[in-house]
Amino acid sequence: MNTLTLRLEKKAPAFSAKASGGNLCLDIMDVIGADFFGLGVTAQTVKDAIAAASDYKTITVNLNSPGGDLFEGVAIYNTLKLTGKPVNVNVVGLAASAASLIAMCGDTITMQLGTQMMIHRAMAMTAGFADDMRKMADTLDSVTASAADIYVARTGMSKDKVLALMAEETWMNPEQAKADGFASAISEQKGKVTNSFNLSVFKNTPEELKNQAESEPEAPVAEPEPDESWKLDLMLKRLEIEKRK
């Protein structure tokens, strides 16, 4: 089964929207931003779902995502904010990186038991001369500062404190998230989160969230046995020659 097939099979549960009883429920269960195959949750995905909803008074967002494109995360945050409707966010697994920005749109943010939230500075890849590298560093500082404003607006922390947490790549369990204002409640339902995302790009991923694919070394590939059938052929030919003599 190739990568494209796997991604297409994964598309169905990645995002869903359902309006019922005056509530629009959005399930965001994948990376933020479109990947090479056009899959992933984007601001347009959310905007289209909102536009298609007939009648709703509140929005519930069930969130489990390793993050992805920071600007898509900011755009989803603002798209939900601009509805003017009360938004209730449930972190049901992981709200990391850009996904944590989406979580901040909630009028209520509930962390289910066993979940994690993570914030960090903006990252990027660049190539070029020294001036290009310095320019990218300045750009990343600017982007990080803009993202920090969203956390500041939600938590009431000073911007310097938020920037320090981002610099440390801070992972928060429900209790820590609530204590620092990144969440408003902890679910009383019992449960344990399991992670299927590859989080190897992050430096402080908790051990319990490192999935099997990351932690287990690849099985060694057995070297094929050398083909020595030529030796038998050579011996038979020599015997044939001896018989003819």
Question: Which of these, 174, 15, 16, lies nearest to 93 by C-alpha position?
Answer: 174
CA–CA distance, 41 with 33 (Å, rounded to integer): 5
Tally of residues, the chain: 245
CATH of region 3-244:
3.90.226.10
DSSP character for 223?
Answer: P
Closest of 193, 196, 227 to residue 116, by C-alpha? 193
Q: What is the pLDDT of residue 134?
A: 95
Q: What is the pLDDT of residue 243?
A: 57
With beta carbons less than 8 A apart as the criterion, state whether 98 and 69 touch: yes
Q: How far is CA 10 from CA 26, 63, 188, 218, in A?
A: 17, 16, 30, 23
Q: Where are the domains of the chain?
A: 3-244
pLDDT tens, position by position, 87-97: 999 999 999 99
Tokens 């601009």 sit on residue? 82
Q: Which helix (H) or strand (E) holds 186?
A: strand 185-186
pLDDT at 51: 95
What is the pLDDT confidence band of residue 7, given thresholds at 50, 70 and 90?
A: very low
Name the H helices within 130-195: 130-155, 159-167, 174-179
Segment 130-150 shows an average pLDDT of 97
pLDDT digits (tens, 9 = 90+) for 145-170: 999 999 999 999 999 999 999 999 99
The model's pLDDT over 173-192, given as tens digits with 9 standing for 90+, comes to 999 999 999 999 999 765 44
The answer to whether residue 225 scores a pLDDT higher than 70 is no
Contact yes or no for 102/77 (Cβ under 8 A): yes
Mean pLDDT of all residues in 81-92: 97
48 within 8 A of 17, measured Cβ to Cβ? no
pTM (predicted TM-score): 0.75
Q: Mean pLDDT over residues 32-50, rounded?
A: 91
What's the gap between Cα 151 and its chain centre?
A: 18
Beta carbons within 8 Å of 224's beta carbon, 6+ residues apart: none
Torsion of CA 19, 109, 71, 43, to 10 degrees: 0
